[in-house]
Amino acid sequence: MLRWVNSSISRKIGGLSIILLSFLIIMIIYSMIGLQQIRSEMIELAEVDTPLTEVVSEIELLQLRQHILIELFRQTNHKPSNNNINPTDIHQQLESYNQHLSEQMYKASAIIESGIEKGRIRFKQEQHQLLLTSMNKLHQVRLAFEKSFMASIQAMLTGESINWEHLEQQDQQLDDELGKLLNHLNALTVSTAIYTEKHESNFMIMTSILGVCAFIIGLYLTQYTIQYFRQRITQTRDTIHLFRNAIEHREVVDFEVDNNIADERDELSQFEHELKLLLKQFSHEIISRDEIEKQLIELATLDKLTGAYNRHKWDEQLKMQLNLASRGAKLSLLLIDADHFKKVNDQYGHEVGDAVLIKLVELLKNRLRETDTIFRIGGEEFAVLIKQTEHEQSLEIAKLLQTKIDTYRDASLPHFTVSIGITSYQAGDTTTDFFNRADNALYLAKANGRNRVEVV
Ligand SMILES: Nc1nc2c(ncn2[C@@H]2O[C@H](COP(=O)(O)OP(=O)(O)OP(=O)(O)O)[C@@H](O)[C@H]2O)c(=O)[nH]1
């Protein structure tokens, strides 16, 4: 069953088509055999039933002739002078009647014998026996009638009295026997016709059942094919939908892809498998490209040495934050400059100077909130934008930073200090106004002895 489920689509549909085709072939063969049988039964009807019907009609006519013959004989005997038929004529007619009856009986037995030989007479052994007995009886009765009739003619010719009672008895007996034979022959033709009719109706029922079965199989095959394709296409559409959603939300699509069974599956499963692999790989690439882009943007906006934002980012952020401040947001600017940094470089070397700058930014980051951004705007000069904070509080932060740096000690670094100029946004400030006020404050801090905070 699993092999069937996993087999290719062409094999699945091919398998079902073979079942349907085999069924149709069986149906056609059955119909041909059935039609052939019905045809032979029709021939049988034509070969047995029709001549037998003719014999029956002939015997019925002979029955009539028998009655007429007796009546003629009666009239000739009653008024011989008024009748132009003489006993010789009656004798001849009797012989002709006998001959005809014998011929019809011979014909009937020949038809039945030949029918039985060819296997076309479908009646029971007892029926056959009954027919033969009836014929024998008829033969004997006919002989007795002939004998009695001949004796009566002879009596009429010699003027003796005729035994009418006996003749009429023989006539009646012959009539009865003829009637019985006719009944047997009729029953035979009727049973043949009934058999054929029954066979025909069985054939029609069987053909109809086979037709309905073929229709159901065909319908199921069509339904199965449509359903199968619809289900698989829906699955693939869901996979693509999942992928699209994941990409929209910038998430990695984690399809379950079973590599081991991929080769054993049908074409649609293999297609789905390949699609999932492709989408998975594609999503990974999109996400990693996003990561790279993010890193590139970060790199483009960060200062390589200290990790603080660079001058380019500073210009952009200063404008943006000032814009927000003009709409009511609180904003303070700290300009931080390392004191006598030239001396550090000169005395300890440029590398130590770099290390001092790195440490300086690290100390600033440690004391600031995530939202307060640090920019390196010159060699040893930094700016900090403090958002959503009152001026007094910003001043406190500036003093705290200056003190922390002053009190910081590291055996591998020289002691260093910073001067800080601070200002807060004032209504109508341009970037230049805002920056210049902070710069003036820094200048004051430098001028007033460094390692201190000044406000403007
Ligand atoms: N090591 C190092 N030094 C730098 C860097 N950028 C600027 N400098 C140095 O920083 C020094 C700045 O010196 P100045 O502008 O004279 O100021 P200062 O010596 O700090 O004195 P004041 O600012 O007046 O206290 C210069 O010697 C620059 O070479 C850097 O990235 N690394």
The domains of the chain are located at: 2-220, 262-299, 305-455
Q: Is the CB of 346 under 6 A from ligand 1?
A: no
Q: Is-contact 337 442, C-beta < 8 A? A: yes
The CA distance from 175 to 182, in Å, is 11
Report the separation in Å between the CA atom of 363 and the middle of ligand 1, taken as the mean of its atom positions. Answer: 19
Q: What is the dihedral of CA 168, 174, 180, 184, to 10 degrees?
A: -160
Q: Which residues contact 322 (CB under 8 A, 6 or more apart)?
A: 331, 425, 429, 430, 431, 434
Measured distance between the N- and C-terminal CA atoms of the chain, rounded to whole angstroms:
87
Predicted confidence (pLDDT) at residue 8 exceeds the cutoff of 70: no
Reported as a single tens digit per residue, the pLDDT across 278-316 is 888 888 888 888 888 888 887 889 999 999 999 999 999
DSSP-assigned letter for residue 162: P
Q: What share of the chain is helix, strand, coil (3-state, %, to 5)?
A: 75, 5, 20
ipTM, interface predicted TM-score of the complex? 0.97
Q: Ligand 1 pocket test: pick from 304, 311, 345, 356 the residue with the most ligand atoms within 8 Å of its Cβ.
A: 345
The CA distance from 422 to 403, in Å, is 15
How many residues are there in the chain?
456
Please give the single-letter amino acid code of residue 117.
E
Q: Is the CB of 338 under 6 A from ligand 1?
A: yes
Closest CA to 214 of 356, 408, 22: 22
Report the separation in Å between the CA atom of 314 and the middle of ligand 1, taken as the mean of its atom positions. Answer: 20
Predicted confidence (pLDDT) at residue 24 exceeds the cutoff of 90: no
DSSP-assigned letter for residue 81: G
Q: Is the CB of 342 under 6 A from ligand 1?
A: yes
The pLDDT of 316-320, averaged and rounded, is 95
Q: What are phi and psi of 240, to 5 degrees?
A: -65, -40
H-type alpha helices, 334-389 = 341-348, 350-367
The highest-level CATH class for domain 2-220 is: mainly alpha
Q: Which residue has the tokens 């890193």?
A: 295
Task: Provide, rounded to the nearest whole percent, the portion of the chain with pLDDT above 70.
Answer: 91
**Which residue has its alpha carbon closest to ligand 1 atom 27?**
342
User: 305-455 adopts what CATH topology?
Assistant: Alpha-Beta Plaits (3.30.70)
**Which residue has its alpha carbon closest to ligand 1 atom 13?**
342
Predicted confidence (pLDDT) at residue 146 exceeds the cutoff of 70: yes
Q: Is-contact 137 173, C-beta < 8 A? A: no
Q: Is the CB of 414 under 6 A from ligand 1?
A: no
**Which residue has its alpha carbon closest to ligand 1 atom 26?**
342
Q: Is the CB of 356 under 6 A from ligand 1?
A: no
Reported as a single tens digit per residue, the pLDDT across 46-72 is 777 788 888 889 989 998 998 898 888
Reported as a single tens digit per residue, the pLDDT across 75-130 is 887 766 655 667 788 888 888 988 998 899 889 888 877 777 776 666 667 777 88
Q: Tell me, letter by letter, the H, E, C secondary structure of 64-133.
A: HHHHHHHHHHHHHHHCHHHCCCCHHHHHHHHHHHHHHHHHHHHHHHHHHHHHHHCCCCCCCHHHHHHHHH
The CA distance from 358 to 356, in Å, is 5
Q: Is-contact 355 413, C-beta < 8 A? A: yes
Q: Ligand 1 pocket test: pick from 380, 406, 413 the residue with the most ligand atoms within 8 Å of its Cβ.
A: 380
Closest CA to 122 of 204, 48, 220, 217: 48
DSSP-assigned letter for residue 185: H
Closest CA to 172 of 148, 196, 153, 191: 148
| Concatenated DSSP letters of 11-35 | HHHHHHHHHHHHHHHHHHHHHHHHH
Closest CA to 339 of 280, 242, 237, 415: 415
Give SS3 for 242: helix
